[in-house]
Amino acid sequence: MNTFQAPRGTYDLIPPRSAVFLAVREAISAPLKNSGYGYVETPGFENVELFARGVGESTDIVSKEMYAFETKGGDQLALRPEGTASVLRAALEANLHKAGNLPVKLWYSGSYYRYEKPQAGRYRHFSQVGAEAIGAEDPALDAELIILADQAYRSLGLRDFRILLNSLGDKECRPVYREALQAFLRDLDLDEDTRRRVEINPLRVLDDKRSEVQKQLTGAPMLRDYLCDACKAYHEEVRALITAAGVAFEDDEKLVRGLDYYTRTTFEFVHGGLGSQSAVGGGGRYDGLSEMIGGPALPSVGWALGVDRTVLALEAEGVVLDIPAATSVYAVPLGEEARRVLFGVVTELRRAGVAADFSYGGKGLKGAMKNANRSGAPYALVAGERDLAEGVVQLKDMESGEQRSVPLETVVSELRAKLA
Ligand code: AMP
């Protein structure tokens, strides 16, 4: 084993691509910060019970993909496979729902862990930015979240994505549908695994990607025909609000999603350039989750957008984000005395808010200028013994190649003005 190799299914974010990840996280969170969502951060692991009860024992996420372990102290923990259960747990623990201003709106950004079969766009460690609006049943809230995700993707320049929308009904109508679906599925020719799924999570069978299963599903009862009047009206209102906002979506009555807690609104963002792992983000309403983990009734809605897949989607569309060079001024000292003086100038520049870097390691002019070029800095400062004797430094415009002497005393203010 190569000891420099990251574990299977994981990868490192390194410059320059890592800057794209930061920009994507920033772009996804910006519309949330602008819409009343406060930042929340929860631990990377939780009691395994939270996910077992929240996400659901019958889901692949909990039954197959969770990094669950026992600590030396005997606690049963799991690395978080998703964000919603943790965020809701944190809100309940802090009694945010009792502070009197529902919904509690929170956003988060972090690492998630699933023991999946690694492939392009599917990793064992991945990164999401998510949003949860806790404690209100209001179609405008569902619409808000869908509109904000659309805005986030568009602000990045993504165009080739679609929004799939469905309603999963509520605790009144879904059980009736579930039974009708089970009765239909029990008559099909299915493998043992799928038969088991029919009994514990029949809606997931609709989601089966295999064509031999899909073929048999023709004529299966559809949830749409079983929605109660309240769910129908709710869903129509969500659709109307999104439509009025000019956000295009497609009704997808087979959209179920892999987590047990969803009720009513569910949605997914899929991208055309990602092959089989086409979902860049998804979410929905989870009116029963709080009670499932032992809390009061708190109807809520949320989403999580995958940062890794959003970056892949940008690459697939050939979108290059406008990420400014990290360094504005690169200082190149020639000789001992110049090193001291220019290092002082760099420190001053940094304190003045100018992004500055320095040629370390006593490089010669040629090597140092190569590094200056590589840094992307629009300006270089070069100084040797003769410049210092005259009290000046050479200021080089890296784009035009033009170079001139600038008095040492004024170089910081001049650069500040140029870069403002
Ligand atoms: P989910 O919680 O499964 O609905 O996932 C929400 C989003 O997180 C997905 O649309 C993906 O963009 C991302 N995601 C989920 N699982 C993975 C994974 N194993 N690797 C990379 N991204 C993932």
DSSP states of 352-380 as a string?
Answer: TT--EEE--S---HHHHHHHHHHHT-SEE
Query: Could you say which DSSP state residue 54 is in?
Result: I
- Final residue before a domain boundary, out of 289, 317, 345: 317
200 CA distance to ligand 1 centroid (A)? Answer: 23
- Final residue before a domain boundary, out of 287, 317, 347: 317
Q: Which two tokens stand for residue 332?
A: 């190149």
Strand (E) or helix (H) holding 291? helix 289-292
- Tens of pLDDT, residue by residue over 287-311, are 999 999 999 999 999 999 999 999 9
pLDDT of residue 55: 85
Q: Taking residues 74-97, report their average pLDDT.
A: 97
For the cut 90, the answer to whether the pLDDT of residue 247 exceeds it is yes
- Tens of pLDDT, residue by residue over 306-352, are 999 999 999 999 999 999 888 999 999 999 999 999 999 999 999 99
Q: Are 114 and 64 in contact (CB under 8 A)?
A: no
CA 349 to chain CA centroid, Å, is 34
Q: What angle do CA 10, 15, 19 make, to 5 degrees?
A: 95
Question: Does ligand 1 lie within 6 Å of residue 112's CB atom?
Answer: no
pLDDT grade, residue 259 (50/70/90)? low
Residues 93 and 40 in one domain: yes
82 CA distance to ligand 1 centroid (A)? Answer: 8
pLDDT grade, residue 59 (50/70/90)? confident
Question: Does ligand 1 lie within 6 Å of residue 103's CB atom?
Answer: no
For the cut 90, the answer to whether the pLDDT of residue 253 exceeds it is no
Residues 312 and 355 in one domain: no
pLDDT of residue 353: 94
Q: Could you tell which of 309, 312, 314 is best to mutate to test the pocket of ligand 1, judged by most ligand atoms within 8 Å of the CB?
A: 309
204 CA distance to ligand 1 centroid (A)? Answer: 17
Question: Does ligand 1 lie within 6 Å of residue 238's CB atom?
Answer: no
pLDDT grade, residue 100 (50/70/90)? confident
Instruction: Give the position, in ligand 1's atom list, of the atom nearest the Cα of 257.
Output: 4
Q: Which two tokens stand for residue 124?
A: 């064992």
Give the type of residue at 369.
M
Structural domain contains residue 346: yes
pLDDT grade, residue 261 (50/70/90)? confident
Question: Does ligand 1 lie within 6 Å of residue 306's CB atom?
Answer: yes
Structural domain contains residue 58: yes
Instruction: Give the range of the structural domain holding residue 110, as residue numbers without chain letter.
Output: 17-173+227-317
147 CA distance to ligand 1 centroid (A)? Answer: 19
Q: In whole angstroms, what is the distance from residue 346 CA to residue 351 CA?
A: 9
Residue 261 assigned ligand-binding role: yes
Residues 276 and 364 in one domain: no
Pairing verdict, β 300-306 and 279-285 = antiparallel
For the cut 80, the answer to whether the pLDDT of residue 213 exceeds it is yes
359 CA distance to ligand 1 centroid (A)? Answer: 41
pLDDT of residue 116: 95
281 CA distance to ligand 1 centroid (A)? Answer: 7
Structural domain contains residue 91: yes
Structural domain contains residue 80: yes
Q: Which residue CA neighbors atom 9 of ligand 1 most closely?
A: 281
3 vs 339, higher pLDDT: 339
Packing angle of the helix pair 17-33, 307-317 (nearest 10 deg): 110
Report the chain's mean pLDDT, rounded to a whole number: 95
Structural domain contains residue 186: no
Residue 262 assigned ligand-binding role: yes
- Tens of pLDDT, residue by residue over 26-52, are 999 999 999 999 999 999 999 999 999
Q: Which residue CA neighbors atom 13 of ligand 1 most closely?
A: 306
Q: Taking residues 82-90, report their average pLDDT.
A: 97
Q: Taking residues 167-173, report their average pLDDT.
A: 92
Residue 250 assigned ligand-binding role: no
pLDDT grade, residue 258 (50/70/90)? low
Number of compact structural domains in the chain: 2
Cβ contacts of 213 within 8 Å, gap of 6 or more: 190, 194, 205
pLDDT of residue 346: 98
For the cut 90, the answer to whether the pLDDT of residue 246 exceeds it is yes
Residue 384 neighbours by CB distance under 10 Å: 16
Residues 153 and 231 in one domain: yes
Question: Does ligand 1 lie within 6 Å of residue 312's CB atom?
Answer: no
Structural domain contains residue 5: no
pLDDT of residue 318: 97
Q: Which two tokens stand for residue 387?
A: 């410049």
Structural domain contains residue 10: no
Kindly report which listed range (47-61, 95-109, 236-250, 383-397) carries the lowest average pLDDT score. 47-61
Kindly report which listed range (50-59, 254-263, 311-320) carries the lowest average pLDDT score. 254-263
pLDDT of residue 99: 85
- Tens of pLDDT, residue by residue over 393-405, are 999 999 999 999 9
Question: What is the CATH number for 309?
Answer: 3.30.930.10
Residues 22 and 88 in one domain: yes
Q: What is the pTM of this model?
A: 0.93
